[in-house]
Amino acid sequence: MFPLSITPYERRYLQRVRDLLFHNQLVHTHLDWHETDQWLDMQTAPMRLAWYKGRLIGALGVSAPLNRTCWVRLAVVQDHADHLHVLHALWDDLALELRSRFVESVALLAMRDWILRYVPQLGFQYMEDIITLERAGANLPPPRPNHLVIRSAEVSDLEAMAGVDNAAFDPPWQLSLDELRQAHRISASCTVGLLDNMVVAYQLTTLYFDGAHLARLAVLPQMQGLGLGGALLGDVLQRFFRRGVYTMTLNTQSSNTRSRRLYAHYDFKPNGYDLPYWVVRL
């Protein structure tokens, strides 16, 4: 095997990583709320670079660990390199740091198929599909009676929203306060639901050229099943109707029966764009 050197990512290598991403096919990016340049510019989470004779031929980066888990955010290998050899070398070195930071599992959402040829050899196992649901039109079911006060979220709500998010979602689906701050920044609509002046639910929706995308919907566990999620969903759909936007997509785990029932009730249907979700335990 040809000798590779593996180094941590540093900001001075940003341009080289950009070039590698630009000139090669085997690219995986799952950056959620950030553009690639922005993410590389601010990157502090664990990331490794693979060099051969001084040339950058691979990179592998994860999200900042949260509650002992993280996501593969970026992976790229030079097209004509030995892909598995490079990915293995990057992964083995990165996993050492993740273990030292008490990370217990790493998740991957396969945005493109190429990476699925290699991740089983790195120990990843298939968990389930993340399905995409879509709805169009202005029909809405009558809301269930509730006392929820819904208003646009402010920066001062972010900590309370993070509390709802981390209570409602299990790792690795939780958002850190930094991620929530960035998500709020790029959102087209972000609302909180309050009972007795306490934030008990929130939603966050982004806008694309072809419609809205519900990126986050969460209700405190002890307040679920009372129509609050439906109330926030109905409200945000109406907010977009007022902006002339009548289509909305969303993703959810195929095993999430409660969310799927709610979305079915609001006429969301699968559109077939499903992504496999894989996990490796360290």
Ligand X SMILES: CC(C)(COP(=O)(O)OP(=O)(O)OC[C@H]1O[C@@H](n2cnc3c(N)ncnc32)[C@H](O)[C@@H]1OP(=O)(O)O)[C@@H](O)C(=O)NCCC(=O)NCCS
Per CB under 6 A, residues contacting ligand X are 141-144, 168-169, 217-219, 224-230, 252, 256, 258-259, 261-262, 265
Report how far residue 63's alpha carbon sits from residue 179's, in angstroms, rounded to the nearest whole number. 10
Minimal CB distance residue for ligand X: 229
Q: Please, which residue, 63 or 249, has the CB nearer to ligand X?
A: 249
Pairwise CA distance, residues 4 & 60, whole Å? 14
Q: In angstroms, what is the minimal distance from the CB of 179 to ligand X?
A: 15
Quick one: 50 or 262, whose CB is closer to ligand X? 262
Nearest approach in angstroms of CB 38 to ligand X is 25
Q: How does strand 198-208 pair with strand 189-195? A: antiparallel
- At residue 54's C-alpha, the angle toward residues 53 and 55, to 5°, is 95
Alpha-carbon distance of 133 to 268, in angstroms, equals: 6
Quote the tokens at residue 3: 């000798």
Q: Which is nearer to ligand X, 120 or 143 (CB)?
A: 143
Least distance from C-beta 175 to ligand X, angstroms?
11
Q: Which of 209, 96, 218, 236 is nearest to 152 (CA)?
A: 236
Residue 87 has a CB neighbour count (10 Å cut-off) of 24
Q: How far is the CB of 273 from ligand X (least distance, A)?
A: 15
Whole-number minimum distance, CB 213 to ligand X, in Å?
A: 11
Q: By C-beta, is 69 or 252 nearer to ligand X?
A: 252
C-alpha closest to that of 49 among 86, 3, 96, 102? 86
- Residue 272 CB, shortest distance to ligand X, in Å, is 17
Report how far residue 199's alpha carbon sits from residue 219's, in angstroms, rounded to the nearest whole number: 9
Residue 276's Cβ-count burial label (10 Å; 0-12, 13-18, 19+) is middle
Structure tokens, 252: 């959810």
CB of 207 to ligand X, least distance (A): 18
Nearer Cβ to ligand X, position 29 or 259? 259
Q: Which CB, 43 or 132, lies closer to ligand X?
A: 132
- Rounded to 10 degrees, the C-alpha dihedral 25/91/279/110 comes to -10
Q: Cβ atoms within 10 A of the Cβ of 19, count?
A: 11
| CA gap 230, 273 in Å, rounded | 24
Find the shortest distance in angstroms from Cβ 173 to ligand X.
Answer: 8
**For ligand X, the closer CB: 119 or 236:** 236
Helix (H) or strand (E) run with residue 38 in it: helix 36-42
Shorter beta-carbon distance to ligand X: residue 23 or 144 = 144
